[in-house]
Homo-oligomer: A and B are copies of this chain.
Amino acid sequence: MSEVPHNNRVSRPPAMTDVARVAGVSTQTVSRVLRNHPYVTDDKRRRVLDAVEQLGYRMNTAAQALSSGRTRTIGVVSMATESYAGAMTQSSIERAADEADYSVVGAQISTLDVDAILSALRRLEKLGSEAIILAVPLRAQDRRIEEITKRVPTVTIGGSPVRTARSLAVDQREVARLATEHLLSLGHCTVWHIAGPNDWVDAVERTAGWRDVLTDAGLTVPPMIHGDWDPESGYQAGRWLADRSDVTAVFVASDEMAFGLIRALHESGRRVPEDVSVVGVDDVRLAAYCTPALTTIAQPFAELGRAAVASVMSRLDEREDPTLNLVVRPKLIVRSSTARKRA
């Protein structure tokens, strides 16, 4: 052995050989103890554990990954984690992974296109992610993406189903249906809609659900307005809607835009819910506390994140996927931003 190790670190943290030497066993036995393999006597097991304790030894993840081919890491591709839904999902994924003793590496994309997603996926694959959770609202399917998801077990959350991946999502048409039917049931003649951006599946699905309900009921479908999820865009939409006295019910694709809308209506002297009923989506934490308290559709983000982790875990362990029959239902929460249409 030369004086200086090739990577030039002078004093290195204890390695398995150190533990083995102190415990008077082979590295192989140390390895077995640490991974709870059978065929180790209690005596040696104890000596190894003592040595580990004494040296403050912790296993080198890189070496383990290289040798075993397993990284105990899952990758998460996401977008807009600073939004309520994004943050909730991300955070529940991390907690669930943590419980399974897996680490999470994130790859955030800032633009919603195939190239961005691809580069994120490639990065995660290179890092050796054993599984990937794809939590982007991508609509397009892409062959190159599917190639990667064929190699590494993938679950998509809320994105369009990649053919080769398991897909978990709240049914966004159902979300729209709940909202729209709630408004119709209050006697409104039709329901207006402030949609999210067209490249988000969720947005498109909500729009479709909204349109379906109206069409099925034989009602006219009012022109749709597009927002960008930001409250400001809801506000702008509201400025425009406030002038039209025939607007009495609006389904807004997100709570944040909904509050923007309500503010605009308020400023124009149209009261919510007396003059206009508003339903949002997400049930953000402030929904119940702003005025008026917002009627909205809650989505089980945390459950979705947990389910995503459970699903990929089951695939890694070659167990049956516990989420196969899982149905995550959106839920209408009626508060004070909706009311029966005035005569």
* B-binding residues in A (CB < 8 A): 7-9, 58-63, 65-69, 71, 73, 81-84, 86-88, 90-91, 94-95, 98, 103-108, 110, 122-123, 125-128, 230-232, 234-235, 256, 259-260, 262-263, 266, 284-286, 288-291, 293
Contact = CB atoms under 8 A, between A and B. Distances in A.
A305 B78 CA distance: 18
Given A86-B87, A263-B293, 11 more contacts: A7-B68, A8-B69, A60-B126, A61-B127, A62-B62, A82-B84, A82-B91, A94-B106, A94-B108, A263-B291, A290-B291
10 contacts: A60-B126, A66-B66, A73-B105, A82-B87, A104-B105, A231-B286, A256-B285, A260-B289, A263-B290, A286-B286
A128 B61 contact: yes
Contact of A58 (B67, B84, B126, B290): B126
A71 B82 contact: no
B125 A58 contact: yes
A105 B105 contact: yes
A58 B262 contact: no
B91 A98 contact: no
B108 A106 contact: no
B69 A7 contact: yes
Contacts of A90: 81
A84, A110, A266, A289, most chain B CB atoms within 10 A: A289
Contacts of A232: 289
Contacts of A82: 84, 87-88, 91
A61 B64 CA distance: 12
Which 5 pairs, one residue from A and one from B, show the smallest C-beta to C-beta distance? A62-B65, A87-B87, A290-B290, A62-B66, A231-B289
Contacts of A67: 7
A288 B231 contact: yes
B60 A128 contact: yes
B256 A286 contact: yes
Contacts of A98: 107-108
A288 B94 CA distance: 31
Given A90-B81, A125-B58, A289-B235, A95 B110 contact: yes
Contacts of A231: 285-286, 288-289
Contact of A91 (B81, B94, B107, B262): B81
B81 A103 contact: no
A230 B285 contact: yes
A9 to B, nearest CB: 6
A123 B108 contact: no
Contacts of A289: 231-232, 234-235, 256, 259-260, 262-263
A122 B58 contact: yes
A131 to B, nearest CB: 15
Contacts of A61: 126-128
